[in-house]
Amino acid sequence: MPGSAHGQEFVQDALNFESIISKKGLQMYFGNAWYPEHWPQQRWREDVRLMREAGMNVCRIAEFAWSSMEPVESSYEFDWLEKAVALLAENDIAVVLGTPTAAPPAWLTFHHPDTLAVEANGLHAQHGNRCHASPLSTTYHKYCRRIVEQMAQRFGKDKRVIGWQIDNEYNRVDYSEYARRQFQLFLKNRYGSLESLNQHWSTAYWSQTYRQWEEIPIPIGGHNPGLMLAFRHFVTSVWREFQRIQIDAIRQHAGPEQWIASNFMGWFDSFDHFEVCKDLDLVTWDWYVGTGHHDYVETGLLHDLNRGYKRRNFWIMETQPGSVNWGGVNNMLNRGEARCMALHAAAHGADGLLYWQWRPALGGQEQLHGSLLGADGKPRPFYTEAAEIGADFARLSEAVQNTAPQAKAAMLHSFDSRWAINFQRHHKDFDPAIYMLHCYRPLIQRGVTVDVTDTEAPLEGYKLLIAPALTVLPDSLPERLQQWVEAGGTLLLTPRTGQKDRHNALFPVLQPGPLRELAGTETREYYALHEPVPIEAVWAGAETGEAHIWAEMLCPLQPQVQVIARYGACNGWLDGMPAATRLQVGDKGGQVIVLGAWLNRELQDSFLNFVLQCAGISTLTLPEGVETASRFAADGSARVFVINHTRQTVTLQTSILSLINPIDILSGKPAENVLSLPPYGAVVLRDAAV
């Protein structure tokens, strides 16, 4: 049976990385994004003093400062940046330098209009709204390489600079004629021949057959599924190459102790993040709530997704200091909510958290965005809570050095599958990200740590694998899953799993395609539901609920298959048919559970609890809105975060956390037998002996 080896490997992987970037071990980093180029230099010292008093020990600068570093072509001015770095270092604040390529200067786009991207409507992007340059433009590549080389020559060996952020929030897609020609070349290299491409894309349909590579368009709107998927792979390759140009320029001059990262955006999916992250040292993401309030389940999944891109701890490079300026309603987070969020991120493996931004520019498009200082340069009310978080991170820093989350359950995530479903949802509400959250929620609410991995990641060490809507199956995955299940693992297949191959073409067999024999079940038909259908479950006695959005008619292929749920009377087709099955595989306890329906939340909660029991994963009974999550050191000792995400006082027995004489790291006091957490309260516990 797969055991805890994976968790130990994950921690060791994190340790190996941290040894590269810090001989002293990793501390917790807390800071902000600062734009000294916006303000007179005589103001800077006061800014840095206030950062230090808030407990900040890192600052990101320069990612939008190209026009300040190269005001005219080939004339570089770095003295101001050197002064800012020096001032931060004098106050024990480390620096992350951003390359400024998300905001090219006006002289560049004016004299070289070929650097501007073309929108899907055929118009050139306009200068001034950032991210308007084409990541494909060879002219732009030249100028990006030059500014990054100049920065790296100046700061690559500077020990005050701990890392680099490449560009900012990759998002631009170029629809220019040059992009089309490059896409055609990409397809030629991928498929080798038009015969192969036409076959995989079924281009005889609607007379789409291509006889010359030059005939192939860039897809705009709905198009051939194979063409659309291939274009996303092309966009991924564009961003990876754009990123590699800058990484190479930095590495020529920087020491290995400086890490290189980029910052990503939640569920944004224009490119495959797993691929782009292969060339990075560290993953960071930008975390904004926008309208409303924090949902720890949703952001827990996003933290775990970003941790999974490289299977190691991550940073939050940007998060909101209270509010944003782009939501429908830009409400302020409640007092204490941001502290919960910061500890929640740390619990899921964040080793750094930075706020955006320090002080709003007096002009520009983000004047009303939340900030730590006001337009007058004085602390806003949120600054007080930020200082409390800074104190928390300082107390945690030594205790969580070189620790990482450790999971026995994993979700397989595939951008190909997300794209394929979003291209053809069949039901408008079948959002693959929301369905993934639907599978994740019952786990985190029971204190279960989850890794989110790609389909190429090692499977050994997990007890449970969930494949939420994994509709596109890579060629090698079925055999790997077969071996893993035969070794004792529990595999959960869900609706829309195994319908398509890697070219986004339907398999010539029914779902779950190449996994049919392993699952012992196939999907005879699928139904986008206009009305809910009843479900009668037997996994925990007689239990009833509903399916909505999606239901599949399952058909067992072997007599050993156990039907664990059936549809009730509904549309005549599904009445009495299997909705979920279970099959024991091999003699080591392996099993495959197939779920064919999008269950209502209560029944989904019961079902996932049953699946966890089948996999032998222990769970906790927690009050509503209370989260527990742990980070482990290489010796197996745990730091257990217990966070109350509600606005009410809650209590729970400390004994359920399996710690010996636990001490709260944040307060330095022994934990009571009954933890009483006030609204937005939190403790971080460890054994007294650790």
Please report which confidence band the pLDDT of residue 129 belongs to, taking 50, 70 and 90 as the band edges.
confident
- Alpha helical stretches, state H, 319-444: 337-347, 382-400, 415-423, 432-444
Please report which confidence band the pLDDT of residue 130 belongs to, taking 50, 70 and 90 as the band edges.
confident
Q: How many residues does the chain have?
A: 690
**Location of structure tokens 């909101």:** 320
Q: Is 532 exposed, middle or buried (0-12, 13-18, 19+ CB in 10 A)?
A: middle
- Closest alpha carbon to 392 in 641, 61, 679: 641
Bond prior to 512 in cis (omega within 30° of 0): yes
Whether the Cβ atoms of residue 5 and residue 328 lie closer than 8 Å to each other? no
pLDDT value of residue 517: 97
pLDDT (tens digit per residue) in 434-481: 999 999 999 999 999 999 999 999 999 999 999 999 999 999 999 999
pLDDT value of residue 27: 82
CATH number of 626-687: 2.60.40.1180
pLDDT value of residue 19: 43
* E runs forming strands in 568-637: 578-585, 590-595, 597-599, 626-632
Main-chain dihedrals φ then ψ at residue 121, nearest 5 degrees: -85, 5
| Angle of CA points 665, 671, 676, to nearest 5° | 110
Please report which confidence band the pLDDT of residue 4 belongs to, taking 50, 70 and 90 as the band edges.
very low
| Angle of CA points 146, 150, 152, to nearest 5° | 115
Q: Which residues contact 639 (CB under 8 A, 6 or more apart)?
A: 399, 400, 403, 630, 631, 632, 633, 665, 684, 685, 686
Tokens of 685: 């516990």
pLDDT value of residue 82: 98
Query: Alpha-carbon distance 578 to 559, whole Å?
Result: 14
Q: How is the beta sheet containing 626-632 ordered, strand by strand? A: 626-632, 638-644, 682-687, 662-664
Distances (CA, A) of 231 to 243, 455, 476: 18, 20, 22
pLDDT (tens digit per residue) in 375-393: 999 999 999 999 999 999 9
Query: Alpha-carbon distance 68 to 146, whole Å?
Result: 15
Region 655-673: mean pLDDT is: 94
- Closest alpha carbon to 381 in 328, 336, 318: 336
pLDDT value of residue 13: 52
Per DSSP, what are the bridge partners of residue 33?
A: 60
% residues pLDDT > 70 (the chain): 96
Tokens of 349: 């493996």
**Is residue 654 predicted with pLDDT exceeding 70?**
yes
Whether the Cβ atoms of residue 599 and residue 535 lie closer than 8 Å to each other? yes
**Is residue 7 predicted with pLDDT exceeding 80?**
no
- Alpha helical stretches, state H, 252-271: none
Q: Which residues contact 158 (CB under 8 A, 6 or more apart)?
A: 85
Query: Alpha-carbon distance 496 to 440, whole Å?
Result: 17
pLDDT (tens digit per residue) in 297-339: 999 999 999 999 999 999 999 999 999 999 999 999 999 999 9
Whether the Cβ atoms of residue 596 and residue 579 lie closer than 8 Å to each other? yes
Question: Which residue among 18, 318, 337, 546 is the active-site one?
Answer: 318
Say whether 318 is catalytic: yes
| Angle of CA points 132, 241, 59, to nearest 5° | 65
pLDDT (tens digit per residue) in 261-287: 999 999 999 999 999 999 999 999 999
Tokens of 372: 């730590």
Q: What is the dihedral of CA 81, 86, 88, 93, to 10 degrees?
A: 120
**How far from the centroid of its chain's Cα atoms is residue 24's Cα?**
28
Main-chain dihedrals φ then ψ at residue 379, nearest 5 degrees: -60, 135
Mean pLDDT of the chain: 95
Specify the fold of 27-174+225-400.
TIM Barrel (3.20.20)
pLDDT (tens digit per residue) in 135-161: 999 999 999 999 999 999 999 999 999
Tokens of 200: 């995989």
Tokens of 500: 């398509």
pLDDT value of residue 541: 83
Q: Is 471 exposed, middle or buried (0-12, 13-18, 19+ CB in 10 A)?
A: buried
Region 112-130: mean pLDDT is: 94
**How far from the centroid of its chain's Cα atoms is residue 512's Cα?**
26
pLDDT value of residue 26: 57
What DSSP designation does 323 have? Answer: -
CATH class of 409-615: alpha beta
Checking DSSP bridges between strand 543-556 and strand 533-537, what pairing results, if any? Answer: antiparallel
Q: Is 204 exposed, middle or buried (0-12, 13-18, 19+ CB in 10 A)?
A: exposed
Query: Alpha-carbon distance 319 to 316, whole Å?
Result: 7
Tokens of 515: 């996994």
pLDDT value of residue 20: 39
Tell me the three state secondary structure of residue 11.
Answer: helix
Question: Which residue among 63, 70, 169, 337 is the active-site one?
Answer: 169
Main-chain dihedrals φ then ψ at residue 534, nearest 5 degrees: -75, 150
- Alpha helical stretches, state H, 379-431: 382-400, 415-423
Region 606-611: mean pLDDT is: 98
Please report which confidence band the pLDDT of residue 542 belongs to, taking 50, 70 and 90 as the band edges.
confident
pLDDT value of residue 10: 45
Region 591-601: mean pLDDT is: 98
**Location of structure tokens 């209270």:** 322
Distances (CA, A) of 271 to 86, 197, 229: 37, 21, 10
Q: Is 312 exposed, middle or buried (0-12, 13-18, 19+ CB in 10 A)?
A: buried
Region 36-65: mean pLDDT is: 98
Whether the Cβ atoms of residue 211 and residue 195 lie closer than 8 Å to each other? no
**Is residue 15 predicted with pLDDT exceeding 50?**
no
Q: Max CA-CA distance within the chain? A: 80
Region 580-586: mean pLDDT is: 98
Domains of the chain by residue range: 27-174+225-400, 409-615, 626-687
